[in-house]
Amino acid sequence: MGPGNGPLRFGQSGEIRVTVVLPLYLGAGELQQVVIWRSDGAWKVYEEIGYQSVAGEQTLWSNPGLPFEYASLYASIIQKLNDDSGAKLLGVAELDEIINPECTGGLSRVTVRIQDASSGEVREWTRCAPGSLANLTTQGSGPDVVASRVIQAAIFVRNSTVGPEFTSTYAGSLPFRTVERSIRTGSGLVRPTDFRSPDGGECGNPPGGWTDFWDAHVEGGERSPPEVDWCTEMVLVAAVGERHEVGDSVEVRRVLSISDGTRYEVAERGPGDFCAPARRTTTPIHIVLAPKSREPITVTILPPERVPCGT
C-alpha cells in the first residue's frame, strides 16, 4: 500500500538513486551500478565496468512495463524510508554523522540518494557492504551499526525494480578498459583475436603481430599504439568483419578467468526488428586492455542483440 493521507513525505515526489561501486582486481578496476527510480514509477539501471579509471563497457536498460505499475511500489518504499522505525533513513541522527566513509577490504561503496521535487532538497547516505547490486547483504556492512539501514534501503530498491534475481551483465568479469571502439578498421579482421606476451623474461616486449595489427587498424595513420605493460596486461579484440547497416557494432562483454585459461565474450549489436537503417558498409571493432590472465585464451560469441530504433 502507498502512503496515507497528509503532508507529502520527503521524496514522495522526486526520485531515489542507488549507486553501488564494487572494486575489482585489488582496486585496479571497478564495477559501477546505478538504479534511478522516479516517483512516476519509471526506472532505469546503468552498469559500467572499467579498468585504470577508464570505462570498458556500459549497459543501460529500463523498466519492462508501464511506469505507473511501479509508482505504488515507489510510494511504499518512500513511506518506509520516512516512517518505519526499523528501516527509515530520514531523521536518524547517527546516519548523518558519517558522510564519506572509506570502504576497504573489497567492500562496495553503497550510496542511497533521495531527491525531493517539492522542496528541491537532496538527502544522501553512504556506507560499505559486501557484494554488488545483485548480491548485496547487510551482514558485514559498516563502518557503524546503522550502516545496515542504508544497505537494506538499496536492497528494497533493487527488489522493487530489477527484482531479487537480478544478475549483472558483467558478473564475474575481470576489469577492462576500452582502447578503441570504431565502426571502421583497416585490420582486415573477421573474427576476435588477442595479443598477449609470453610469461617470463621476454614478457615486456610486444607480442608478435601487435605492431602490424595496429598499423593496419589505423590505416596508415600516425597514431601510436596504446601503452601496454605486456608483463601484466593483455589486449583483446572483438571484430566481425564487414557489416552493411548503420548501427551495427561489436563489443567485448566479459573477460572471465576460468579453470583452464581465460574466456572472453563478444556481443554484436544491430538495429532491431522493424527498423529501417541506412545501408553503409562498416567494419566494427572493439579493442580493450585487461589484466593479464592465464592461457589459453578462448572466445565465446554471444547471440546477436537487437537494439531499439534510434539508439
pLDDT(1) > 50: no
Confidence of residue 245 (pLDDT cuts 50, 70, 90): confident
Return the amino acid letter for 51: Y
Percent of the chain past pLDDT 70, that is, above it, reads 94
| 246 belongs to a structural domain | yes
Give the C-alpha separation, 141 to 109, whole Å: 10
CA-nearest of 307, 268, 84, 93 to 190 is 268
User: Do residues 221 and 101 both lie within one domain?
Assistant: no
Looking at per-residue confidence, does 165 or 7 come out higher? 165
Return the amino acid letter for 148: S
User: Do residues 245 and 111 both lie within one domain?
Assistant: no
Which set of grid coordinates corresponds to residue 121?
Answer: 532538497
User: Do residues 27 and 148 both lie within one domain?
Assistant: yes
pLDDT(44) > 70: yes
Check residue 244 and give its pLDDT. Answer: 79
Check residue 6 and give its pLDDT. Answer: 55
Give the C-alpha separation, 11 to 39, whole Å: 8
Query: Mean pLDDT, to the nearest integer, of 28-43?
Result: 98
User: Do residues 96 and 153 both lie within one domain?
Assistant: yes
* Distances, alpha carbon 258 to alpha carbons 25, 77, 110, 234, in Å: 15, 40, 29, 16
pLDDT(5) > 60: no
Residue where one domain finishes, among candidates 100, 131, 160: 160
Give me the chain's average pLDDT, please.
92
Check residue 310 and give its pLDDT. Answer: 53
3-state secondary structure of 251: strand
Name the DSSP letter for residue 133. G
pLDDT(304) > 80: yes
User: Do residues 219 and 268 both lie within one domain?
Assistant: yes
User: Do residues 155 and 278 both lie within one domain?
Assistant: no
Residue partners of 246: CB distance under 8 A and separation at least 6: 271, 277, 278, 279, 280, 282
**Residue 139 belongs to domain with CATH number:** 3.30.1560
CA-nearest of 254, 260, 253 to 297 is 260
User: Do residues 241 and 144 both lie within one domain?
Assistant: no
Check residue 205 and give its pLDDT. Answer: 86
| 252 belongs to a structural domain | yes
Structural domain harbouring 61: 14-160
DSSP string, 254-269: EEEEETTEEEEEEEEE
CA-nearest of 217, 293, 224 to 262 is 293
Name the β-bridge partners of 268: 250
User: Do residues 273 and 142 both lie within one domain?
Assistant: no
| Torsion angles phi and psi, residue 95, rounded to 5 | -70, -25
Check residue 272 and give its pLDDT. Answer: 64
Looking at per-residue confidence, does 311 or 184 come out higher? 184
Query: Which of the residue ranges 4-18, 121-135, 224-238 would you say has the lowest mean pLDDT?
Result: 4-18
Give the C-alpha separation, 243 to 162, whole Å: 33
Confidence of residue 271 (pLDDT cuts 50, 70, 90): confident
Give the C-alpha separation, 233 to 97, whole Å: 41
| 4 belongs to a structural domain | no
Confidence of residue 101 (pLDDT cuts 50, 70, 90): very high
Check residue 273 and give its pLDDT. Answer: 60
| 169 belongs to a structural domain | no
User: Do residues 244 and 149 both lie within one domain?
Assistant: no
Query: Mean pLDDT, to the nearest integer, of 89-94?
Result: 96
User: Do residues 186 and 148 both lie within one domain?
Assistant: no
3-state secondary structure of 152: helix
Give the C-alpha separation, 111 to 206, whole Å: 41
Confidence of residue 218 (pLDDT cuts 50, 70, 90): very high
| 147 belongs to a structural domain | yes
Structural domains in the chain (count): 2
User: Do residues 36 and 136 both lie within one domain?
Assistant: yes
pLDDT tens by residue, 104-140: 999 999 999 999 999 999 999 999 999 999 999 999 9
| 21 belongs to a structural domain | yes
| 170 belongs to a structural domain | no
User: Do residues 84 and 142 both lie within one domain?
Assistant: yes
Query: Mean pLDDT, to the nearest integer, of 247-252?
Result: 89
pLDDT tens by residue, 47-77: 999 999 999 999 998 998 889 999 999 999 9
| 1 belongs to a structural domain | no
